[in-house]
Chain A
Amino acid sequence: MDILTPMETTALLLSLRVAGVAIALGLPVAVVAAWILGRYSFPGKTLVDGLVHLPLVLPPVVTGYILLVTMGTKGVIGGWLYHTLGIKLIFTAEGASLAVAVTSFPLMVRAIRLSVEAIDGGLEAAARTLGAGPVDRFFTILLPLMAPGLLSGAIVAFAAAMGEFGAVITFVSNIPGQTQTLPLAIYAATQEPGGDAVAARLATISFAVALVALTLSEVLASRVRRLIGQT
């Protein structure tokens, strides 16, 4: 690769991988959360809603710190994972994925929930009279109709995950090749004498990735909307 230096390629690929894993794991959870929050009311709903949105309002560094305390090898959950399953999250790319999954989660839930709430509940009642049970209805009615929100939510969250800085650096530190994603690489470059050119190149890459993601989101969402007969 001539355009990018090996270090830049590594950072870009790592970022894509970290964000990709985070979205792939977070999306099903976000769909379920959005479905429940958008369709049902239950005691404590406000609390659940608040918890889901917490990473959006919390400083990312705090999110990273909470992860460090709970998911580190000495943390309650992290310790158990490490000692029984041998899974180490701290200082690893998997840990970075977890950190960005947490911070981007509310973005996904919000976008998907909006599209769940926009679906006419009468359609589900109609599906019931036609013999469709709850799981059947979810896959044949709700999921296809929430697809535009799901898609744009996933892409925006992916872009945000690519750019997450505070939670990542706090939880998994800044190790080149392991946890040094694009924003961390930019930060590292600016700390070094003569690193301005590197930082500028990395920033340009970030810019391009974000732009592609947003454009893709719009194009895909409108395609899907046409596909499901909304336009």
Chain B
Amino acid sequence: MLDLSIRQTLGAFTLDIAFTAEEAGVTALFGRSGSGKTSVINAIAGLTRPDSGRIRVGDTVFFDSARRIDVPVEKRRVGYVFQDSRLFPHMTVRGNLDYGLRRVPAGDRRIAFGPVVDLLGLAPLLDRRPRGLSGGEKQRVAVGRALLAQPRLLLMDEPMASLDAARKAEIMPYIERLRDEMAIPIVLVSHALDEVVRLATTMVLIGEGRVRAVGPVGTVMGRLDLSAATGAQDAGAVLDLTVERQEEADGLTVLAFDGGRLTVPRVDRPPGAAVRLHIHARDVIVALQAPTGVSVRNALPARVVEVAESGPSSADVRMAVGGSFLIARITRAAVRELGLAPGRPVVALVKGIAFEPESGNGGGTGRGRVVDV
């Protein structure tokens, strides 16, 4: 477990961050560029030193200003995947992978060379130099190198920011496998919402050096007061669903969650597989009764939880759908005319769904594609 609470003056503003992250899974530090995200993981790694606070990973205290503890970077055993890879140019891929591994006593080596090479698909690259690798390949090597150093915690600083959409789509599945197959907590810094929605278990929303919100991705994304911080254009809810069945004849897939079912264009996954969808607020329509004679196929019974202004003429309506939430962005006039207020039963019509690339419908575009349903 990561337990962090730090203060640090950073030029124009003060970083004042506290959060805890679980033993496994991905904790995403999400926020705009310059919000202080990278400073947080640099402090965890020990590359920068906070003015005060404490950082603990499991039973090990890395930093505690009150007790004057500041473990040097090289003794922290924290894996760090840098945005720019930072592979050693004078070594082969194998040499790079070995660098951290060789510096760990043989008895402490839980993560072995072979499985990491397999996990990240590095076998064909082993004898090559970093110079000849593509951006995506470099990042995969960097991830492998960090993993083989037997880290207690893996830090990733915008690992996909310097990659084009195709390379990003190529590396995402590897990070997912890492998350699902390795029992190492990962802290991912990102300003790309699609990465966070797809990879994160926990989301830490950071703005101007402060933690704005912490929680499961669906919960943080479902909060109306944060839509400005997450990006007004991308405002919307995140749903975790499972594949229920394929309707081959129509090329559709039925997805189930605790609030009902969604029918979407074919998702190339077996029944039972988990799918996460990002449903933009602008793609959700609110109706008082289930409509007839419309083309929209997904109508979910819902209950209004919260209404908040989101622009000069618009409002965001948060609705509970089973145990999950949906957000609709509609006009304030509509809110008034329909009498939308907390507690009111409604029907949420989902007009479009943003597919994250994992679902197989996003193609190689990297960014989730919105499809009408």
Give residues in A with beta carbon < 8 Å to B.
120, 122-123, 125-133, 136, 140-141, 144-145, 227-230
Contacts and interface: CB of A to CB of B under 8 A. Distances in A.
7 contacts: A126-B82, A128-B74, A129-B73, A132-B103, A140-B99, A144-B90, A230-B90
B185 interface: no
Interface of B: 45-47, 72-80, 82, 84, 86, 88-91, 99-100, 103-104, 129-131, 145-146, 149
Question: Which one of A126, A141, A227 has the highest number of Cβ atoms from chain B below 10 Å of its Cβ?
Answer: A126
A128 B89 contact: no
The winner among B77, B84, B99, B129 for most chain A CB atoms within 10 A is B99
Contacts of B78: 129
Nearest to B45: A129
B47 A130 contact: no
A130 B75 CA distance: 9
A129 B129 contact: no
A229 B96 CA distance: 13
Q: Which has the most chain B C-beta neighbours within 10 Å: A120, A123, A129, A227? A: A129
B181 to A, nearest CB: 22
Given A129-B146, A131-B103, A132-B74, A230 B89 contact: yes
Contacts of A136: 103
List 4 tightest A-B contacts by C-beta distance, closest first.
A228-B90, A130-B100, A131-B103, A126-B86
Given A127-B99, A131-B100, A133-B74, A122 B90 contact: no
Contacts of B79: 129
Contacts of B84: 122
Given A131-B74, A131-B77, A229 B89 contact: yes
Nearest to A144: B90
Contacts of B99: 127, 130, 132, 140
A122 B104 contact: no
Nearest to B145: A130
Contacts of B103: 130-132, 136
